[in-house]
Amino acid sequence: MAAGRSPPTFLLLGAAGGGKSLLVGTNLTDLRLPRKVTVRELGGCMGPIWPSYYSECSALLFVVDASNPSQVSSSCIQLLSVLSAEPLASVPVLVLFNKIDLPCHMSLVEMKSLFRMQDVLSCAPDRSGPAWPRPARHFRFRLPAGRRRFRRGGSGMAAGRSPPTFLLLGAAGGGKSLLVGTNLTDLRLPRKVTVRELGGCMGPIWPSYYSECSALLFVVDASNPSQVSSSCIQLLSVLSAEPLASVPVLVLFNKIDLPCHMSLVEMKSLFRMQDVLSCATQPITILETSARDGTGLAGVLQWLRAALREPS
Ligand SMILES: Nc1nc2c(ncn2[C@@H]2O[C@H](COP(=O)(O)OP(=O)(O)OP(=O)(O)O)[C@@H](O)[C@H]2O)c(=O)[nH]1
Ligand SMILES: [Mg+2]
């Protein structure tokens, strides 16, 4: 919290799949703090480089999946390791036991026990500084009723009570979280829609979400030539999945605000877009975007509205 001109940074850490992106995308950006604050999510798979962000950290939010007993003990070890980092010695810490909307989630008592919370509290340095007289150490997080998203069973656009789900996929670092966090949740579509981002490092489990997918957004980093060809292969593999055979697809060449980004012509060529289009069974649209400055997002909105209208 040292005085400085840039806003204080709160780090949002935790194992992959705990719900950090969803938290950032749906809730934390809606905070009305008197002071501006940057909440920076670092993906679970980025664990090895978390420490390089510690020096700029004013407060720590650590997310634990309360519906996944097999991950709790490794999360505890991970938190202990984070807490032992010298730059974080006096920052306040908020541990979030997330996903308590799932029927299988563990109770607070079970979680505290499995997480060895007493041990964590007793070995963590005292974090109650003058600016943070009574830091909340842990509480259970529940999405507001209107924002619960993990509804299963409604298949896509098919008539059902849960809103259609649009999947947002692409390699790690392409800009999905920035898109969701800053823009897509502000959509004013006539119909409610869930845009679900699945992190690049969650690739192996993407297919388990395909059956509920009504439309697909696939983000490619247009500033990273070394990732384009693996992204192309990844997209071809996604497009070949049977449950996605007829969903509309929007490919976003993102980060076009960066001076080093490739032009649309270069990207289409490097991405072998002609081959992709000719072997795909889906209608594919391509747009250029910048999740950073908002370029192209009007086109994304237009596409989303059209996709919502289309029966699948
Ligand atoms: N300049 C610029 N940076 C961007 C843009 N989109 C995302 N970034 C940055 O790229 C980095 C990765 O963005 P994320 O949104 O976390 O990427 P992601 O696709 O969610 O990555 P995973 O969740 O790991 O799969 C972050 O530092 C973003 O701020 C963009 O359009 N322009
Ligand atoms: Mg992300």
Q: CATH code at 231?
A: 3.40.50.300
Residues, beta carbon < 5 Å, ion ligand 2: 21, 176-177, 199
Q: Which residues line ligand 1 (CB under 6 A)?
A: 43, 170, 172-178, 199-201, 219, 254-255, 257-258, 290-292
pLDDT over 90 (residue 164): no
Identify the residue whose C-alpha is closest to ligand 1 atom 27: 173
Residues 126 and 183 in one domain: no
Residue 177: pLDDT band (50, 70, 90) is confident
The count of domains in the chain is: 2
Tokens of 194: 């869930």
Task: Kindly report the number of other CB atoms within 10 A of residue 273's CB atom.
Answer: 18
Q: Which atom of ligand 1 is the closest one to the Cα of 290?
A: 31
Euclidean distance between the first and the last CA atom of the chain, given in angstroms as a whole number: 50
pLDDT over 80 (residue 289): yes
| Domain assignment of residue 2, yes or no | no
Compute, in angstroms, the gap from residue 46 CA to the centroid of ligand 1.
Answer: 13
DSSP letter, residue 295: T
pLDDT over 60 (residue 9): yes
Residues 220 and 127 in one domain: no
Q: What is the mean pLDDT of residues 43-48?
A: 80
Residues 164 and 303 in one domain: yes
DSSP 237-272: HHHT-GGGTTS-EEEEEE-TTSTTPPPHHHHHHHTT
Task: Kindly report the number of other CB atoms within 10 A of residue 123's CB atom.
Answer: 11
Distance of CA 65 to the CA centre of its chain: 14
pLDDT over 60 (residue 265): yes
| Domain assignment of residue 165, yes or no | yes
Last residue of a domain, one of 116, 140, 164: 140
Q: Are 224 and 190 in contact (CB under 8 A)?
A: no
Q: What is the mean pLDDT of residues 241-249?
A: 95
Quick one: pLDDT at residue 30? Answer: 46
Residues 287 and 237 in one domain: yes
Quick one: pLDDT at residue 138? Answer: 39
Q: For residue range 71-97, what is the model confidence (pLDDT) as tens digits?
A: 887 788 788 888 888 899 889 999 999
Quick one: pLDDT at residue 151? Answer: 32
Please tell me the number of the ligand nearest to residue 23's CA.
Answer: 2
Tokens of 231: 């992204």
pLDDT over 80 (residue 261): yes
Question: From CA 218, how far away is CA 233, in angstroms rounded?
Answer: 12
Angle at 197 between CA 185 and CA 280, to 5 degrees: 115
Quick one: pLDDT at residue 131? Answer: 34
Residues 303 and 195 in one domain: yes
- Best mean pLDDT range from 78-82, 191-195, 265-269, 297-301: 265-269
pLDDT over 50 (residue 160): no
Which residue do the tokens 């705990």 mark?
18
Residues 129 and 173 in one domain: no
Compute, in angstroms, the gap from residue 15 CA to the centroid of ligand 2.
Answer: 13
Q: What is the mean pLDDT of residues 190-202?
A: 81
Last residue of a domain, one of 140, 174, 206: 140
Last residue of a domain, one of 140, 162, 187: 140
Identify the residue whose C-alpha is closest to ligand 1 atom 24: 172
| Domain assignment of residue 1, yes or no | no
Quick one: pLDDT at residue 132? Answer: 32
CB-facing half-sphere around the CA of 259: CA atoms within 13 A: 0
User: Which is more confident, 26 or 115?
Assistant: 115
Quick one: pLDDT at residue 171? Answer: 92
pLDDT over 60 (residue 145): no
Task: Kindly report the number of other CB atoms within 10 A of residue 258's CB atom.
Answer: 14
pLDDT over 90 (residue 124): no
Angle at 30 between CA 27 and CA 34, to 5 degrees: 130
- The parent domain of residue 126 ranges over 9-140
Residue 210: pLDDT band (50, 70, 90) is very high
Question: From CA 193, how far away is CA 276, in angstroms rounded?
Answer: 27
Question: From CA 295, how far away is CA 255, in angstroms rounded?
Answer: 9
| Domain assignment of residue 297, yes or no | yes
Question: From CA 199, how far away is CA 212, in angstroms rounded?
Answer: 17
Residues 161 and 288 in one domain: yes
Residues 273 and 205 in one domain: yes
